[in-house]
Structure 1
Amino acid sequence: MQAEPPSTSTKTWQYPSGQLGHLTESQQQALDKFKQLLAEKGTYTPSSEGKRPSHSDAILLRFLRARKFDPPAAVKQFSETEEWRKTLRVDEVFDSIDVDEYEETRRLYPQWVGRRDKRGFPVYVFEVGHLDPSEVSATDKSKSLKKFESGHGDSSAHMLRLISLYEHLVGFVSPWCTAEPTRPYAKTAAMTQSCNIIDVSDLGIRKAYSLRSHLQDSSALSTKHYPETLDKIFVIGAPSFFDTLWSWIKNWLDPVVASKVFILPSKDLFAKLSEHIDPENIPKKYGGQLDWKWGDLPNYDPALLKLVDPVQEELTLPIGPTRWEEGDDGEMVLVATGTKDGEPRREKVLKLKSKYDDVLFFKPSKDATQEQGSAAPTTAGPPVTKA
């Protein structure tokens, strides 16, 4: 049976329902139960006596939403992910990857353009037709990550490189977007997802077939261990054989993720994109005003740049892996990590004008629970499965 094609309508937004600060009574009960089960299992430590919890509510809710607010199912996925992170030493991988190897890998997957959609989600673009299968194959090796490799599964060099990109999203991009105070629902919902434009306009069926493992790895990793980091996925330039391609892809995706895929017809591409992304944040190639093309470093949002001060004299953001850490006074400090010429890179680059706890352990403002301002239509939250 042929896979049902993705929708061409983009009017099924869920945000902010199901998000922190926008939970129904039954969803809040599911979150409380989820925490209780995790604490009993020893994979989560609640806050106590002024100490922060081991994981933020925003992170926990990613797993709950992915499992449709079924606490036991979410416990299973969360526990498996925690064990996976420990076994692969994910934090060490991110600190160890060579900067140049990271950049090589970044050019083979969705790239942050440096801007956000109307809700505040970071916008990523993936031009699949630009991928060279030989360059993809080259990521099967990594000098800097050799000590973490087993040669197969998620501990292969290829997957370890990919994991670093997901860590960059959750450790750098999402917290920065969360800290921006003028976005809709800034006081009641954290940014934990991304808006994606997938351009398949130059993709032939032979190349698509040769890249199937590359594409499958990314979707499988997201589904298993980085759930709910993807929001809407706009597919543009769909070729005549896209139904065949979709039949492959849909089998790799969790049904929740598959429901977020939308095909945009070329005749009204810009009109559809601009319903959800302001023109100044849409790359020129797609009818917008943003000076950004595939392979470029991010063209950073001026609103985000206003939030930071340089540690040194110049405001510059380095290439390679970066993440926010807690400074001596509780502030957020951007640290450039990874390795360069075999040596660890630990450079403090920026300071964010927000406290670490306020962003990484985001809590809804009690006086803003009815906050309005979403730039896109919403629907009821996902169904809740009782434990």
Structure 2
Amino acid sequence: MAPDALDLTDDQRFSLMKLRRNIADVRQPHHDDHYLLRWLRARDFDADAAEKMLRDSLQWRQRWDADNILSWEPPEVLKKYYPSGISGFDKDGAPVVVVPFAGLDIWGMLHSVSKSDFIRNTIKYIETFSGIARKQAAVHGQVASQVTVVFDMDNFNLRQYAWRPAGEVVIALIQMYEANYPEILKICYIINAPKVFAIAFSVVKNFLKEYTLSKIQIIKNDPVKWKAAILSTIPADQLPAYYGGTLTDPDGDPKCPSKINQGGKIPKSYYYKNSEKLAENENYTSAVIKKGDKLKLPFVVAQDGSFLKWGFRTENHDIKFGIICTNEEGIESEAIPIRKVNSHLSEEMGVITCSAPATYTIIFDNSYSYLRSKKISYSVGVVPPVETKEEALTEE
């Protein structure tokens, strides 16, 4: 769509033209002006800042293979117990996502799947919802290009999120969403919010942009109020009867579990029995780090902008972890400071962008332990940088 067809000031129109020109080397078919405006609004129409945000997101998409994630098959436990689903479409044609959040057994989940698979599954859901919104926008216009969300916090248990790995993964997901999916949220109803939810939200909102916060309506445990609010946006025949609509499953279930996965307590039969199971499922390498010893894994990085990815889990005990960068002049610096991590409770994973030429040495440090050797399962690798269209043409 041409800039003139959008309701923009002259300065905003100029920023849009500048961004369109600057990202021509990586622009994809669905990167129309409406798409680019999302990144501009997220950066107050600073074209340079929006370009950096978009390019960083494209690198993130490559690291997680987000463009092909719909073909990824998640582990069975995620299919059965990840609470979310689409019930229908709102009055403008935008998809309606319902999340029975209390159905997320985060403790059981992070003891049954790797943290990376949990995040990957969330990306798959967001990509699915975004794809449906794009198709709806082609039919109903831009009013259908975003997602309407209902978060049901009934029976929310704050204690689960006092566990550090659980809190960390939630914050990581929020940061991932804000950095890579600007303005896909149309409105979010948080219903049945208990008093303790205010404590959790006071932490979470520090990681949300003002735009996102402006789209959130928190309605306490007052069914009359929240049903009226939801039905003002969503037709009754597009909403489960449990939430004030008319939809039910064929067996009469008002929560429509055939459309919306309800989650639930994860059976311990899904829990990791030991680190060998992780190694088997994730193609990890296993090693024993003797008491008082270290395991060092050097990786030579030749291309600037390459990514160093890692994931690991220890059996029964913690470990110290860090990454040292040694440049071509032999000068060392801490890429990731060495610190103790509770990798026996949940998988530790991460990724950094590398400078080149340099050697990045991953260190698993058990030198502080004089009594125990530590068994570890790990997966580490270097991924080449994103190749732009311009670079590809130059190589040809």
With the shorter chain as reference, the TM-score category is 0.5 to 0.7
Given that residues 174 and 208 in structure 2 are in contact (C-alpha distance below 8 angstroms), is that contact kept between their aligned partners in structure 1? yes
Any gaps of 5 or more consecutive residues in structure 2? 249-253, 262-396
Cα distance in 2 for residues equivalent to 1:20 and 1:109? 42
**Residue 86 of structure 1: how far off its partner (Å):** 2.3
Is 2:101 the counterpart of 1:128?
yes
The two structures have a TM-score, normalised by structure 2, of 0.56
Equivalent of 1:235 in 190, 196, 203: 190
Given that residues 220 and 252 in structure 1 are in contact (C-alpha distance below 8 angstroms), is that contact kept between their aligned partners in structure 2? yes
Match of 1:149 in 2: none
Q: Which has the higher strand share?
A: 2
Cα distance in 2 for residues equivalent to 1:205 and 1:264? 18
Match of 2:149 in 1: 196
Equivalent of 1:137 in 110, 130, 137: 110
Is 2:119 the counterpart of 1:159?
yes
RMSD of aligned residue pairs (Cα, Å): 2.9
Equivalent of 2:37 in 57, 61, 70: 61
Name the CA shift for 1:88/1:269 in 2 (closer, same or farther; >3 Å).
closer
Give the letter aligned to residue 235 of structure 2: D
Is 2:22 the counterpart of 1:37?
yes
The two structures have a TM-score, normalised by structure 1, of 0.57
Match of 2:258 in 1: 296
SS class of match (1:198): strand
**Residue 250 of structure 1: how far off its partner (Å):** 0.4
Match of 1:207 in 2: 160
SS class of match (1:168): helix
Given that residues 128 and 199 in structure 1 are in contact (C-alpha distance below 8 angstroms), is that contact kept between their aligned partners in structure 2? yes
Given that residues 279 and 290 in structure 1 are in contact (C-alpha distance below 8 angstroms), is that contact kept between their aligned partners in structure 2? yes
What are the Cα deviations for residues 329-350 of structure 1, in whole angstroms up to 9, with x where unaligned?
xxxxxxxxxxxxxxxxxxxxxx
Cα distance in 2 for residues equivalent to 1:230 and 1:88? 22
Match of 2:174 in 1: 219
Given that residues 123 and 197 in structure 1 are in contact (C-alpha distance below 8 angstroms), is that contact kept between their aligned partners in structure 2? yes
SS class of match (2:144): coil
1:278-297 equivalences in 2 (<5 Å):
278-291=235-248, 293=255, 295-297=257-259
SS class of match (1:73): helix
Name the CA shift for 1:241/1:98 in 2 (closer, same or farther; >3 Å).
closer
Cα distance in 2 for residues equivalent to 1:64 and 1:33? 11
Equivalent of 2:7 in 18, 23, 27: 23
Match of 1:90 in 2: 66
1:240-279 equivalences in 2 (<5 Å):
240-265=195-220, 266=222, 267-279=224-236
What are the Cα deviations for residues 310-347 of structure 1, in whole angstroms up to 9, with x where unaligned?
xxxxxxxxxxxxxxxxxxxxxxxxxxxxxxxxxxxxxx
**Residue 198 of structure 1: how far off its partner (Å):** 0.9
Give the letter aligned to residue 58 of structure 2: E
Cα distance in 2 for residues equivalent to 1:272 and 1:38? 40
Cα distance in 2 for residues equivalent to 1:139 and 1:251? 29
Name the CA shift for 1:118/1:298 in 2 (closer, same or farther; >3 Å).
same
Cα distance in 2 for residues equivalent to 1:262 and 1:60? 26
Name the CA shift for 1:122/1:44 in 2 (closer, same or farther; >3 Å).
same
Give the letter aligned to residue 99 of structure 2: F
Cα distance in 2 for residues equivalent to 1:68 and 1:117? 28
Match of 1:148 in 2: none
Name the CA shift for 1:198/1:21 in 2 (closer, same or farther; >3 Å).
farther
Name the CA shift for 1:288/1:191 in 2 (closer, same or farther; >3 Å).
closer
Match of 2:289 in 1: none
Given that residues 78 and 118 in structure 2 are in contact (C-alpha distance below 8 angstroms), is that contact kept between their aligned partners in structure 1? no
Match of 1:342 in 2: none
Name the CA shift for 1:74/1:201 in 2 (closer, same or farther; >3 Å).
same
Cα distance in 1 for residues equivalent to 2:41 and 2:121? 27
SS class of match (1:112): strand
- Which shows bigger deviation, 231-240 or 29-38? 29-38
Structure with the greater alpha carbon radius of gyration:
2
Q: Calculate percent identity across the aligned residue pairs.
A: 25
**Residue 123 of structure 1: how far off its partner (Å):** 0.7
Is 2:74 the counterpart of 1:108?
no
SS class of match (1:237): strand
Given that residues 128 and 200 in structure 1 are in contact (C-alpha distance below 8 angstroms), is that contact kept between their aligned partners in structure 2? yes
Cα distance in 2 for residues equivalent to 1:286 and 1:125? 10
**Residue 68 of structure 1: how far off its partner (Å):** 2.8
**Residue 284 of structure 1: how far off its partner (Å):** 1.0
Cα distance in 2 for residues equivalent to 1:230 and 1:20? 25
Cα distance in 2 for residues equivalent to 1:281 and 1:109? 18
Number of equivalences = 249
Given that residues 102 and 164 in structure 1 are in contact (C-alpha distance below 8 angstroms), is that contact kept between their aligned partners in structure 2? no
Cα distance in 2 for residues equivalent to 1:21 and 1:103? 43
SS class of match (1:202): coil
